[in-house]
Structure 1
């Protein structure tokens, strides 16, 4: 499937003007085929027509990207749905499929440094994926619609893209849904801000814009019936909360709590990094997890206070500062878990040291399995959300805090979110920041808590 240049025969090295194929993966240690090489995406414009009654979807993805090499062809991660047409810079491109890899061969070589637009039209019934532990992701039907949950691989089930967290982009998402059999419109909630709601006879189009860069696993579209509440935090951040009526009783205090947590976290971790905040509280009680979808965390049922703190903390740790690789997930989950400890400590509950001890001695209900592997070295992709990444990751942060002192520790957290705002970062960069800020050598501490097998001795 090479784009051949007529009249040119090559032996040995390929002539530079012929371009090279972009890599079919980012070669992440845990998910080697996720992501792709040869280009960086800056923007996705997604247009979706969805019919809840039949779970049928028709989509268009216009991807704006910059070539990082001369590109003869390039790949997009895409699972299940049928490709109907593809263009690059307005000219027909040849699509081919191999499992979850969609390869586009444009009419001409894309030169290194060139910005280009790839457009893919597609349709069908989107997939729901099941992880090794039985959890589901991807496009998931609910009792009154559907939701799209992307961590770690699910986003490729409903739009083609460069689905690795290292390639963040901005998004415009337009979703058109029909009125139901009673003539009532469905609601559509997504990331960022609602820019327009257009009534078109028996259809409604909802247009959402996410102006800050976002990793694709954090993209969400949720279709259903919701009670919408709008407001602002005391710090002035716009709030948009969508609650399924079946969860209304348990979610009565959500708006006030979202505002309170965001204002608290802004003091602790630095300014809130996005232009709005909120939550989607759906009725999907068997989901078994919540997800920190950007600007509006998704909950399958009304969350308790601790879970809401955890998912909102991710807006700083994971969403704004996104891991460079999947092995760096402790920078998401360890930090969000430690935010729970801090919230409890500062609101009349256990101190962080007491919570640390309960994990260390196995009395905490979430401590089971935290010593199975080092938190910064999950042995497989299926274990990036296992207990060591959360609990032992938080314990590592507490040991840093006790070693450097509160003043330096919270300065480190604020510097981390400022230096890597809307970007990517890794564990080595966090260690370097801790050592630079505190003036202490911390390699032994981090090696013990992040990389060594088994329970550390002496703690």
Structure 2
């Protein structure tokens, strides 16, 4: 019943927006202009595009494993935010045809990942329009200087996984978190091959030796959070305690890591329930997780369906990484970035969620763990030279964003007390639900709720390089043992896997 309603709702929404496009009427040349080739992010000037707001992506894909051949038709429903005689999409595969509002449109590659589209008739500001892009190619063969190809070709399929770049390799988009949209993804693969994407599995059908899986993400999603996992997979389907669908997928090549992976990821509903008790209502209509055996060295918070590298489970179960990626469903997915310099709002908060889990489990309080990190990292370490509030694109995923970012939250908690601290977090996730936000907006909210002027806390931990003079929590809260608690060792292992040893 729910699946059918979702499919009807998504279809109706697309049709409503498409039908709302007025009949083509020549627009005056006065005021027409091309949309900008970038959305305005200072770190990545040519990521995303200007002049329109994407509302929905409908992807119809046909994938052939082995050959790594992807053919697709993407229908994008958008609204023009200015009068447009041309606009850009971010995309790398070969394009066969583009139609805008049903009419053939001219298009050309514009260097790098830019695809320039010139509609037959200019678009009026404020009006919805549809773009259909027919395309194909071998995503795994496309290389971009300075970027490790995020489309991972496998013997039995492929995986689309990367941050901040991945969409270019498999669908055209306005590729920046500031322009979120809903999605539905239908992918056809050979019988016996599974295909997992984001959201709810709205349909599955087989015909002539091929199976089509239709996934629906009915909440706005940043483009890098869309994923596709195709292969010989064990897919499990269940329900959470609140009745939401749960999908977990495991590559059949996990070997000795398989059981530890399942012992960790199958706890997702329990972990999500606990996170909801801390941060507020879970923001999506499904949950789950996928485990790959690719040694990519990271996990990613792909919306409602996080992806974990099996390396996290090499030494046994690792619940911490499951807590981290599911905390991102609130911090990073539901409340997304407006600009990449605000990455602390994603990673610092998800890391602090791990400390809160440790506190709940009795394996070390958040204060003890934050102090242990502070004590273990020497003042001369380059770790302390990263400015958390503005790390620069080269340090977007530096360990300091995670660890010092979490220390910053502990320092805030120490300053304002538990009641205000958790009120700040819950208000943040509620008021910015399914939207975008910035660090200054978080600071403003924290000051409003606490009634305190908090410049000293945020300046010390986010805006200043060098090791702060004082710990993030009072000395009395530090662990009484000579070394850090066991949970600190486990978390440090996770971050060494992700980022290399802290030096």
Counterpart contact for 1:141–1:147, Cα < 8 Å: yes
Counterpart contact for 1:19–1:70, Cα < 8 Å: yes
Q: Does 1:317 align with 2:331?
A: yes
Shift of 1:368: 6.7
SS at match of 2:414: helix
Identify the match of residue 466 of structure 2 among 430, 454, 458: 454
Task: Return the alpha-carbon distance in structure 1 between the equivalents of residues 165 and 382 of structure 2.
Answer: 24
Counterpart contact for 2:66–2:155, Cα < 8 Å: no
**Post-superposition CA distance 1:268-306 (Å, at most 9, x none):** 00011000000011222x211111100010112164111
Counterpart contact for 2:386–2:395, Cα < 8 Å: no
Q: Does 1:176 align with 2:188?
A: yes
Q: Does 1:335 align with 2:349?
A: yes
What corresponds to 1:272 in structure 2? 282
**Post-superposition CA distance 1:306-340 (Å, at most 9, x none):** 11110011011000000110001110000000000
Give the 3 Å change call, closer, same or farther, for CA 16–409 of structure 1 in structure 2: farther
Task: Return the alpha-carbon distance in structure 2 between the equivalents of residues 165 and 146 of structure 1.
Answer: 24
What corresponds to 1:373 in structure 2? 386
What corresponds to 2:231 in structure 1? 224
TM-score, normalised to structure 2, is: 0.83
What corresponds to 2:455 in structure 1? 443
Structure number having the greater helix percentage: 2
**Post-superposition CA distance 1:151-202 (Å, at most 9, x none):** 10121111111000000000010111124xxxxx200000001111110111
Identify the match of residue 89 of structure 2 among 67, 76, 79: 76
Counterpart contact for 1:60–1:122, Cα < 8 Å: yes
What corresponds to 1:257 in structure 2? 267
Task: Return the alpha-carbon distance in structure 1 between the equivalents of residues 376 and 43 of structure 2.
Answer: 28
Counterpart contact for 1:138–1:155, Cα < 8 Å: no
What are the within-5 Å matches in structure 2 for residues 148-227 of structure 1? 148-179=160-191, 185-227=192-234
Task: Return the alpha-carbon distance in structure 2 between the equivalents of residues 245 and 95 of structure 1.
Answer: 42
Deviates more, 1:317-326 or 1:238-247: 238-247
What corresponds to 1:6 in structure 2? none
Counterpart contact for 1:168–1:214, Cα < 8 Å: yes
Q: Does 1:296 align with 2:305?
A: yes
Structure 2: 5+ residue runs without aligned partners?
1-26, 472-503
Identify the match of residue 121 of structure 1 among 131, 134, 140: 134
Identify the match of residue 360 of structure 1 among 345, 358, 374: 374
Shift of 1:137: 4.7
Task: Return the alpha-carbon distance in structure 1 between the equivalents of residues 270 and 157 of structure 2.
Answer: 30
Task: Return the alpha-carbon distance in structure 1 between the equivalents of residues 347 and 262 of structure 2.
Answer: 27
Counterpart contact for 1:233–1:262, Cα < 8 Å: no
SS at match of 2:97: strand
Deviates more, 1:81-90 or 1:354-363: 354-363
Counterpart contact for 1:370–1:391, Cα < 8 Å: no
Task: Return the alpha-carbon distance in structure 1 between the equivalents of residues 144 and 397 of structure 2.
Answer: 14
Deviates more, 1:367-376 or 1:95-104: 367-376
Identify the match of residue 291 of structure 2 among 281, 293, 296: 281
Query: What RMSD, in angstroms, separates the aligned Cα atoms of the two structures?
Result: 2.0
Counterpart contact for 2:65–2:155, Cα < 8 Å: no
Counterpart contact for 1:139–1:154, Cα < 8 Å: yes
Task: Return the alpha-carbon distance in structure 2 between the equivalents of residues 130 and 43 of structure 1.
Answer: 27
SS at match of 2:343: helix
Q: Does 1:27 align with 2:40?
A: yes
Task: Return the alpha-carbon distance in structure 2 between the equivalents of residues 159 and 288 of structure 1.
Answer: 24
What corresponds to 2:400 in structure 1? 388
Counterpart contact for 1:137–1:149, Cα < 8 Å: no
Structure 1: 5+ residue runs without aligned partners?
1-13, 180-184
Deviates more, 1:273-282 or 1:243-252: 243-252
Q: How many residues align?
A: 435
Counterpart contact for 1:362–1:368, Cα < 8 Å: no
What corresponds to 1:400 in structure 2? 412
Task: Return the alpha-carbon distance in structure 2 between the equivalents of residues 387 and 273 of structure 1.
Answer: 27
Deviates more, 1:267-276 or 1:147-156: 147-156
Counterpart contact for 1:57–1:126, Cα < 8 Å: yes
**Post-superposition CA distance 1:358-407 (Å, at most 9, x none):** 2112269xx9753131111112x232111121111111111000000001
